[in-house]
Structure 1
Amino acid sequence: MSHMQLQRCSVGSRMTSPTTDFGAVGGSYAHYNTSGRGRLRHDLVARRLLADLPRTPAGVLDLGCGDGEMTLRLASAGHRVTGVDPSAGMLASAAERLGTRAETAGRVRLLQADIATLPTHLGVFDAVCCSRPFGRPSGRSTRRSWPPAE
């Protein structure tokens, strides 16, 4: 994975709906990302995210980072990004993509974790990005405040 660091976090629940397991549809998802519609969606989301972030490097938590599209764009713009996704396959794709870009070296950390059970050791972030839809983990509410109350 060259300069990419992948950490696995213990999780207490898993996404169970096949429609929300992007790791199971990695090939289709990659195809969508390169389609005209996918590129347009990513361009619009990135434009909005980058407009809302400070020009100085910000710490960004990218929830559901998938194959690293937004992580790559944010890190290439100079921000420090922690990408979180429950799928090891999607994170491997992200690490591969990010590993080919020298300008992201040292700015990206990838973590395997579920959004419903985020570990508390992630740190403090200036912004949180969640540009992908999430399903609801079985039996648990996804409604949470971050960071957790002391």
Structure 2
Amino acid sequence: MKTFQAPKGPGPYGITATPGGDIYFVSLAGSYLAKIDRKSGEARVIEPSTPDQGARRVWSDSRGRLWISEWNSGQVSVYDPHDGSWKSWRLPGDAPRAYAVYVDERDIVWLSDFGADAVYAFDPKTGKFTAYPNSTENADVRQINGRKGEVWLPESGADRLLVIRTGSAE
């Protein structure tokens, strides 16, 4: 096992691998994205387009773009490493608090929102959010995962597991 220091101090939070095998992480305290050099372990900081956004989680889509849930800004952002571009969308509602992010096999982006006690499915092609309410108030979905046709949501504040069947299973 090897240990490496985060480039800007405390705050590494979420981590993902792209289909090409690149490793990225986000820092909540530092509000940045970083790419890890797999040989040296050194991390190169990639500054988001929104300062102090509070990146919590990151997930790669099928094209290697990185989707980031932003706690402080209430946004979801995507970084495309192929051209260095950023794009952001604010979650619905008055006070969104984006926490978890997961990208399914259709490249639909799933986000938990502590501010709305909901989970959203975001379609990047249309820019539309579809809301799925949590099973109770303060359910606190901190991580999302899934498999083809299913999105799994552990509600840590309610001691429950939810599954959304998307109908895309074969």
Which structure shows the higher strand fraction?
A: 2
Compare the two structures and name the one with the higher helix fraction. Answer: 1
Bigger radius of gyration, 1 or 2? 2
Relative contact order, higher structure (CA 8 A, sep 6+)? 1
Q: TM-score, normalised by structure 1?
A: 0.27
